[in-house]
Amino acid sequence: MKSLLAGLLALLALPALADADAGKLYADHCADCHGFDRLGGVGPALLPENLGRLKPAEAVQVILEGRVATQMLGMGDKLSRGEAEVLAKHIYTPLARIPVWGETEIAASRVTLTPPESLPAKPVHQANPLNLFTVVELGDHHVTILDGDRFLPLNRFQSRFALHGGAKYSPDGRFVYLASRDGWVLKYDLYSLKPVAEVRVGINTRNIAVSSDGRYVAAANYLPHTITLLDASDLSPLKVIEVKDENGTSSRVSAIYTAPPRQAFIAALKDVKEVWEIPYGDTAKVSAGLVHGYEKSKAGARPVQSRFPLRRIVVDGILDDFFFDPAYAHLIGASREGKAQVVDLLAGRTIKSIELSGMPHLGSGIVFQSEGRQLMATPNLKESIVSIVDMKNWEVVKRIATPGPGFFLRGHENSPYAWTDAMMGKVKDTMTIIDTRTLEVVRTITPSPGKTAAHVEFTRDGKYALVSIWEMDGDLVIYDAATFLEVKRLPMKKPSGKYNVWNKINYSSGTSH
């Protein structure tokens, strides 16, 4: 964050050309691909909110030299370094107003890529469709579909810029849904290995969720401040909800999740002290404990239940990171001040505050049984610990020291071990393995010395653990989950999320939901 701020301040301190000059440079060299409004086109949106992964100084180099494995060509033969710096300053300048991106714009962006009637009834490959992995390779903007039995790629295709690593699947595991930070949502068929449809749900999107009945896809947007609801069959827009609290304060949406037992989406809000629940099931199935909205029918005869009614849950502070217990009866939300709240979803109120120092990453928490207790474990983005919480009394029972602050923590029902990284600290190349029976560290491994190791995911049966080497010249390293011995290594370009179909659709207690 400090380096980003320093780079941005350096750009802002440059001798400024007139706005018209910066605008003309942009119009002449950038608008055709990125849109005259900077909202994106063939290329990604060029807005501060969408450029978080690119430091301002790096943006200058991209303008001059281009970006590998993309359509972005270097313009060093057309622009001086000074002009490139002016352009970089321009794209890091916020827009004067929040752009409109509603149902009309969403519907106009939707494209059918493979007609549904042409999709095969059975997989065209020999792999087990429930033991596939969707691997997001951030380095060159590609996605690899990996056979989880033979550890062989089945297909590799180009993705949108800055794809979110958290793939989501239809309940039967046939389709995978992927979202980019630019707001593009792709539906991809794991039987035919073909894209089905694509739509742009927002300008800056955080993540997506798929309803447990497979009918809907929900998207959480930073820009504009909306939640977009889609028909999962063809990605057509069904509803766009403007996000404001009861006092009218607008808010970004940090994330959205599906809560299967409640047949509802749960949204984390970045700027207001509310948690939103949006039921998607039939009235009879979602009525208990929920507050429904109503709207007049077209005939005007009597009220009818609103589609996707909204339930507001007022909480004690802003919670932008969530964890759920297996029954989805409780939500555990974290603020960035080291506080966590336990929210009873039925009662709709906070029932407990947990002291979790540092910056717990609850979205990557796991659940496991130990000595008859159901425990939750969460990594920490600022402190070198993994916190263990007893889910009966919501008390911290242990803090396990690790080599550095971590982002991801993973386990599996068939394995007694949980794996966590230290990618947020100085010792980025280590993985720490914790015995969930004893709550002790049993092994620390270094898959690739000097290179960032991150994000473990298990195979369907829990016998193998896959580790990402998060570098341009990275790898996917497969380990025997019982012996911790390396089995295979696949070269990849900065592999990020790599979620297993079976684990995701069965809501494994060892992976994020």
pLDDT of residue 70: 63
- Residue extents of the structural domains in the chain: 2-91, 360-513
Mean pLDDT of 395-411: 96
Q: What is the mean pLDDT of the chain?
A: 88
pLDDT of residue 1: 44
Question: Which phi and psi angles does 108 have, rounded to 5°?
Answer: -70, -25
pLDDT of residue 320: 80
pLDDT of residue 285: 43
pLDDT grade, residue 5 (50/70/90)?
very low
pLDDT of residue 307: 85
pLDDT of residue 302: 37
Neighbours of 139 (CB within 10 A): 17
Range 2-91 classified under CATH 3.40.50.2000: no
Task: Report DSSP letters for 106-117, one per residue.
Answer: HHHH-EESS-GG
pLDDT over 80 at 502, yes or no: yes
Mean pLDDT of 157-164: 91
Task: Report DSSP letters for 173-233, one per residue.
Answer: SSEEEEEBTTSEEEEEETTTTEEEEEEE--SEEEEEEE-TTSSEEEEEEEESSEEEEEETT
For 289-335, what is each residue's pLDDT tens digit? Answer: 443 333 333 333 333 346 899 999 999 889 888 899 999 999 999 87
Structure tokens at 187: 């539906």
| Topology annotation, domain 360-513 | Methylamine Dehydrogenase; Chain H (2.130.10)
Q: With residue 3 as reference, give the H or E element that holds it.
A: helix 2-12
Instruction: Give the lowest-confidence range in 33-47, 140-154, 356-370, 499-513.
Output: 33-47
Q: How far apart are CA 22 and CA 83, in angstroms?
A: 8
pLDDT grade, residue 68 (50/70/90)?
low
